Amino acid sequence: MIKLIGKDADGVIATTPHVYYGEPSAGMTKIFDALRRFYNKQPEFTWGTTQTPFIASYIRGWLNVYLLKKGLEIIVDNWSTYSRLGGFSGPSVRSALETLRNWDPDGLAPVVTLARDDHRPSTTTRIVTVRDGRITVVKSVTVERRKDWLGF
């Protein structure tokens, strides 16, 4: 979008709970390793610029699959329990994920906590802005996990 909007993008403020493609983190190292295996070359660019090859939804997709993988690992590690609940089924995966407490998705997003009655993965997000055509992190903001905010 920065490339499309040009200089008018400067000053735009947004929020994102996850890192952008290319931001340094352990999870980004795994993404780059996968891309090197798939494309047989090293990704080259500077994150937060118009040269970034993938948009934010790429990271969200990776996080969704990573979370599913974690749920399946919980089922495998606790098979004696989950085999009685249907093994690899939607309800079992949901039940497994609802046991997550402060799970770190390798720095791609804030730690994840899910509960049966609260599926908000995190109460932390980052405020970013565009300066000189680059995405810049302003700060991270964490709000309390209030029950009366469920559903908003």
Identify how many contiguous H helices and E strands the chain contains and give both numbers.
5, 3
pLDDT tens series, the chain, 152 aa: 788 888 999 999 999 999 988 889 999 999 999 989 998 887 777 777 777 777 788 899 999 999 999 999 999 999 999 999 889 999 999 999 999 999 999 999 999 999 999 999 999 999 999 999 889 999 999 999 999 998 76
Degrees (nearest 5) of the Cα angle 91, 94, 95? 85
CA distances from 145 to 28, 51, 109, 125 (A): 28, 37, 17, 13
Cα separations (Å) of 35 from 24, 42, 108? 15, 8, 16
> Where in the chain are the domains?
2-149
Query: Does residue 135 contact residue 96 with C-beta atoms inside 8 Å?
Result: no
Q: What residues have CB less than 8 Å from 32, skipping those under 6 apart?
A: 42, 43
pTM as predicted = 0.85
Q: Which residue has the tokens 């905010």?
A: 149
